[in-house]
Structure 1
Amino acid sequence: MAELYIDADACPVKAEAERVAVRHGARMYLVSNGGIRPPAHPLVESVFVPEGPDAADKWIADRAGTGDVVVTSDIPLAAKAVAAGALVVKPNGETLTTANIGNALATRDLMADLRSADPFRQGGGRPFSRADRSRFLDALERAMRKAAEAARDAGQDEAGT
């Protein structure tokens, strides 16, 4: 069965992800440094990692693998998850795959360089919208179905059929 890992610090779609996970009967891990309301559903587990840079990312990267789904905006974490065979969905509904993770990493690095070169630059990306939320739900639903299919296929392979 697919597992769903949420990089929960500053994630705007935790509730939506929980609904999808519960509908699919999938175990979901909300991984954060703390400050998140404990989930009510038994399939959803809060995982609190120690303070520190990328502790939640490391926890997820160490566990997510083929047939799992990771929700994150963190591009380096997404790259590790994709390399491990997990499906990755950003909160805005964009999916990251082996085909596009290299470009995402390059863009991230370029934007970091631009920000550091102009300390007076104001603003960031556009605000999170209802359309983003809708795209996320659609992308997560597709990813969960694909992960469940991969898990079924892996189960058949292990059974020798």
Structure 2
Amino acid sequence: MKIWLDADASPRPVKETLYRAVQRVELPLTVVSNHAFEIPRSPFIERLLVASGFDEADNEIVARCEQGDMVITNDIPLSAEAIEKGAMVLNFRGEKLTKANISARLSMRNFMDELRSSGVDTGGPKAFSAADTREFANSLDRELSAALRRGSK
């Protein structure tokens, strides 16, 4: 199992939680972004810097992830493609996205895009909080534990 982080929009607490977790369970993490930022030196963490541009990081993650991998992202279309390939997806607030709930998420995302493009102010997501960090950490721990029990290392 390999973990892929869609890092450009990832909140710092998510990154830090993920860095500590992969060190603990000794699973490989690839941090995919189109701009450089500091990552810890670790045999389990690698950076994949992609070209700047719309969906470059997403496209790279989809091209490289495989069945049984884990993808960490808030991007709904990326989530859908990763799920289709058999990857497990967690968003930055620790919510697991699956075949059972991704269609509704895509529909809502598309609806909100249509509203925004017609000039409706839909607001943005709520600010990322300490509670969100805890929920992400708890979900990540549950999913990693389950994967390790299945022998996905």
Q: Same fold (TM over 0.5)?
A: yes
Contact 2:73 2:89 in 1 (8 A): yes
Q: Distance in 2 between matches of 1:53 and 1:147?
A: 32
Q: Which residue of 2 aligns with 1:70?
A: 71
Contiguous gaps of at least 5 residues in structure 1 = 156-161
Q: Does 1:80 align with 2:81?
A: yes
1:65-86 Cα offsets, whole Å, 9 max, x none, are 2221110000010001111111
Q: Distance in 2 between matches of 1:25 and 1:14?
A: 16
Q: 1:11 to 1:50 in 2, by over 3 A?
A: same
Q: Does 1:24 align with 2:25?
A: yes
Which SS does the other structure have where 1:15 is aligned? helix
Q: Distance in 2 between matches of 1:127 and 1:134?
A: 14
Q: Which residue of 1 aligns with 2:5?
A: 6
Please say which of residues 87-96 and 59-68 is displaced more in the overlay. 59-68
Q: Distance in 2 between matches of 1:36 and 1:71?
A: 17
Q: Distance in 1 between matches of 2:116 and 2:41?
A: 40
Identical residues among aligned pairs (%): 38
Residue 148 of structure 1 deviates from its aligned partner by: 2.8
Q: Which residue of 1 aligns with 2:135?
A: 135
What is the RMSD computed on CA atoms of the aligned residues? 1.6
Q: Distance in 2 between matches of 1:123 and 1:117?
A: 14
Count of residue pairs brought into register by the alignment: 151
Q: Which residue of 2 aligns with 1:57?
A: 58
Q: Which residue of 2 aligns with 1:89?
A: 90
Contact 1:22 1:43 in 2 (8 A): yes
1:29-74 Cα offsets, whole Å, 9 max, x none, are 0000023113322210011001121111111111212221110000
Larger radius of gyration: 1
Which letter does structure 2 place at the counterpart of 1:3? K
> TM-score, normalization: structure 2?
0.92
Q: Distance in 2 between matches of 1:19 and 1:129?
A: 19
Counterparts of 1:81-160 in structure 2 under 5 Å? 81-118=82-119, 121=121, 123-150=123-150, 152=151
Contiguous gaps of at least 5 residues in structure 2 = none
Q: 1:26 to 1:84 in 2, by over 3 A?
A: same
Which ranges of 4 or more aligned residues in structure 1 deviate by more than 3 Å?
Answer: none
